[in-house]
Each structure stands twice: as C-alpha cells, then as structure tokens.
Amino acid sequence: MNASSTWLLFLVIGMGTFILRYLFIYLFGKIEMPNWLRRVLRFVPAAALAALVFPALTHPTGHLDFSLNNFRLLAGLSGAIVAWKTRNVLLTILVGLMLLWILNAAFGV
Amino acid sequence: MNKDFLAGARGALPILIGVIPFATITGVAAVSVGLTFFETMGMSVIVFAGASQLAVFQLMSVGSPWIIMVLTAWVINLRFTMYSAALAPYLQKLSAWQKAPLAYMLSDQAFGISLSHFTVTKEEVSHRWYYFGTALTIWIAWQISAVIGALLGALVPASWGFDFAFPLSFMALMFAALRDRPTVVAALAGGIIAVLAKGLPYNTGLVLAIFLGISAGYLAESLKTPQGAAQ
C-alpha cells in the first residue's frame, strides 16, 4: 500500500468511527436508538473478535492446520486459558508469545 | 480548574494501568506491519480505537483489500453507538460543536467510568465536566503510550513473530465480551464460520462471519426470551 492510500484508509475509518461515536449524542431528543438495534449491537464485540481470532490460529500459513506442528494453535489455546481466567490483554499476549517462542525454539525446523 | 473535570481525571487514573500497555502494543504493532512513526501517530489520533486499529494491522499483514479493512474496523467500532446513546442525555445541553470533540474522545474506558459515576451523582452540570476530565485523561495517556510503542516497535525484529500479538489481544478482549450464553453463541458462530469461510476471495469470509455471528447471538437471545417479554 502506498503512503497516500494508507492515509486515505485512516481517514475513511476515522470518519466512520467518529460518526458512530457522535451519532446518538447529536441526535438526542430527535431520534431514539431503536430497541432491536440495541439488541443486535450487544453481539458485535464477541462475534467480531472471535472471527478475527479463530482463523489466525487454525490457518497460520493460509491453510487449515489442526496438527501438533501448528504452534500458533497450541500457544493460542494456552493464551485462551489465560484470557479466560484473567481478561488481561497484556498477560495474554506475554504468555502466548513466550509459548510460541519456546515451541519454535524447541521443536521448530 | 473545574472541580468536576479534576474529579473525572482522577477517576480515570486507575484504568490507565490497562490503557497504557494496550496503547503501547498498538504502537509497536503499527510499526511491525510497516507503518512509519508519522503514520502510526496519524492513525492513533484520527481513529483512536485500539481494537479496530489492531484488526486493520492484522489484515494489512495478510494483504487484505482496502474495503475489508474499512468494513471490519467500522463493525468493531459499532459498539460506540451504544455508548453514544447512553451518554447522550448527560451531554444534551451542549451545542452540536461542543458535542463533537467530546464524542471524538469517547472510549470504552471513558464510557465505563463516567456512566458508573453518573449513577451516584445527580448534579446535571457536573456530568459533562466529569466525562470531559475522564475522556481527555485517557486520550492523552493513549497518545503518549502510542508514541512510546511506535518508538519501541522499531527495536522489535520481525523474526519475533510479533504479529501473533494481534490474535492474542483479540482473545483477551473477546473473553471480556462474553457476558452470557447468547454472547458465547455469537462468538462461537462468528469464529467457526470465519474458519470455514477462510477460503473465500478477498477475505470476505471475515465480514460474513461477523454478521452471521451477530445473527446467531440475536437468535439465541430471542429463543431464550419469551415472545411477550421481548421488548
């Protein structure tokens, strides 16, 4: 990606994100958020984050790999336990990355 | 200086323990996918939404098309509309121009701290100052940490596999978002469909999986709630 399209990408994402932040603060008293929308939005973080996480673990090199040689899957599942127990972003990253390095160092080719 | 503004700033201090490392990681991650220091800070100021920024970096690292990056970032940031709707009554006396910078500074943490504070105090004027103090403190801490991250990022060699920090950080955020059975259904459906649809061209499977995951969660909740009680 060249420099100008990178900046354009940031601007488009940033403007959209600003509108999402501003919309209902601005519209207060004019339009209420419909109840169905409120109920739908509740599921956005769980669905979106899972959709980013799962394939990154099962497809580390672009194709499906459920073998024990898929170190990212093993390290990721360990990270999942840390995430589940602590909800701590930093701790999850540290444990997951360390485990990936150890697996690579011990069994990597 | 306004006492409610200061109270808001003080209220934000404990949560900086979480904000600072997350912003630092975002800065490191930006540099690791090849962004310059200037681009990293530009994005940090323009977008100011860590999870969506990390998602864009992960998609950049696998060469996803532009439109998928934009849609994914927007979908992840859809949650801000919920915060915006909940905060709106407390900011209603301000003009549209005064609301704009306050909306721009809206973050998960500023929302959480302010709203829990609002339930204990009834003074109308103090609310917006309190929110302003909280949101600005978090914004400043975020940007300073992002600068530090961007500088540190230049020292991290690519061979360390730092790109693996993306799914790991999403993992922690995902578990924090699992509040009940329907949200677990949404996550499982979104994740599994993303795996199955991985082969679709231009990474369209990701956006498809997110929408189907949301639908699955919504459906699970509708089935759980008796029709008459659902509002």
Same domain, A21 and A60: no
Contact check, Cβ <8 Å, A50/B190: yes
Contact check, Cβ <8 Å, A47/B217: yes
Tokens encoding B141: 């801490």
> By the 8 A CB rule, do B185 and B217 touch?
yes
Where residue B161 falls (left for φ over 0; alpha for ψ -120 to 50; beta otherwise) is left
> By the 8 A CB rule, do A26 and B106 touch?
no
Contact check, Cβ <8 Å, B73/A7: no
Between positions 132 and 191 of B, the ones with CB within 8 A of A are: 160-162, 164-178, 182-184, 186-191
Helix B66-77 crosses helix A44-58 at what angle (to 10 degrees)? 140
Chain segment A27-85, per-residue pLDDT in tens:
988 888 888 888 888 898 899 999 989 999 999 887 889 988 899 999 999 999 999 99
Chain segment B82-110, per-residue pLDDT in tens:
889 988 988 988 999 999 999 999 998 89
Q: Which of B69, B87, B189 sits opposite A25 (nearest CB)?
A: B87
Task: Give alpha helix (H) positions in chain A.
Answer: 3-26, 35-41, 44-58, 71-86, 89-107
Question: Closest chain A residue to B164 measured between Cα atoms?
Answer: A97
**Rounded to an integer, what distance in angstroms lies between the CA atom of residue B221 and that of residue B40?**
39
- pTM value is 0.84
Of chain B, the percentage scoring pLDDT greater than 70 comes to 94
Domain boundaries along the sequence of chain B: 3-162, 178-231
- How is residue A7 annotated by DSSP? H
Same domain, A38 and A49: no
Contact check, Cβ <8 Å, A50/B80: no
Same domain, A55 and A14: no
B220: pLDDT strictly greater than 60 = yes
**Rounded to an integer, what distance in angstroms lies between the CA atom of residue B51 and that of residue A37?**
22
Domain containing A25 equals 1-42
The DSSP annotation for B93-139 comes to TS-HHHHHHHHHT--HHHHHHHHHHHTT---HHHHHHHHHHHHHHHH
Same domain, A71 and A31: no
Same domain, A89 and A71: yes
Same domain, A51 and A63: yes
Same domain, A69 and A109: yes
Q: How many domains does chain A have?
A: 2
CA angle B169/A63/B193 to nearest 5° reads 65
Would an 8 Å CB–CB cutoff place B206 in contact with chain A?
A: yes
